Amino acid sequence: MRDTHPLDIAGGLLLTAAAGYVDAVGFLRLDGLYTSFMSGNSTQFAVSLSQPGHPVAWTIGLLFVAFLAGGFCGSLVSLQVPGRWGPAAVLGLEAGLLVAALSTVLSPSVQGPAAPLLAAAMGAQNAALRRSAGFRPGVTFVTGTLYSLSHTLAQAATRIGPAFGWVPDACTWLALVGGAVAGGLAYRAHGLEALVVPVVGVGLVLALAVGRAARAGATA
């Protein structure tokens, strides 16, 4: 983590919090489905297929397709815009998808389901992430992070690894959980209008990415 730029750490944790926030909003909106945690959706998809009528299989399938499409488009952007502008370009795509989801709520002239747009935004976010010194901030799911946390705690306890090597994983998990708590509270108070918060959060990280890329170009 010490080799990771502080802005990358702060921006990554903010993106993780935004992912938790969006997932909580989607979970409440869709009665128990997710917009970023596709492992949970995969289990529910399988259970739905085993039930008569496949009650929610089509809804989950749409979320799968949207997440895949977002990740595919984000990866294409990242591959086509390599170097310092790559993360900013992908974050711009994610921000656009979040704005589109919000517009389905705020603008009467725009019709469309918000949940697939949110899933696509979460898929795209993963393409913007960069691993540095084993720390990958900005994740949209934390199963692997929790295992890594247990592993680094064991390393610290046995003095095989650094005493505080578990801190990055703990911060990542806390960011997602904290974002999810905020998203749940905001959705219950404001409905889908609560999506204003992750739009602003991702927009802030995008502005930081653009600023860093521009400064890097000026000094090159």
Q: How far out from the chain centre does Cα 29 lie? A: 17
Domains of the chain: 6-212 (1.20.1250)
Supply the pLDDT for residue 136.
63
Q: Is 74 exposed, middle or buried (0-12, 13-18, 19+ CB in 10 A)?
A: buried
Question: Beta-carbon neighbour count of residue 78 at 10 Å?
Answer: 20
d(CA 201, CA 67): 20
Supply the pLDDT for residue 33.
93
pTM tops 0.85? yes
d(CA 216, CA 16): 25
The dihedral through the CA atoms of 7, 85, 87, 220 has a sign that is negative
Supply the pLDDT for residue 135.
54
| Residues near 35 by beta carbon (within 8 Å), at least 6 away in sequence | 22, 23, 25, 26, 27, 63, 67, 115, 118, 119, 122
pLDDT digit of tens for each residue in the chain (220 aa)? 445 667 778 888 999 999 999 999 999 999 899 999 999 999 999 999 999 888 899 999 999 999 999 999 999 999 999 788 988 999 999 999 999 999 988 876 665 689 999 999 999 998 887 544 445 666 788 888 899 999 999 999 999 999 999 998 999 999 999 999 999 999 999 999 999 999 999 999 999 989 988 887 777 6
| Residues near 161 by beta carbon (within 8 Å), at least 6 away in sequence | 152, 155
Supply the pLDDT for residue 193.
93
Supply the pLDDT for residue 83.
82
SS3 string, 143-167, reads HHHHHHHHHHHHHHHHCCCCCCCCH
Supply the pLDDT for residue 133.
40
Supply the pLDDT for residue 35.
94
SS3 string, 25-74, reads HHHHHCCCCCCCCHHHHHHHHHHHHCCCCCCCHHHHHHHHHHHHHHHHHH
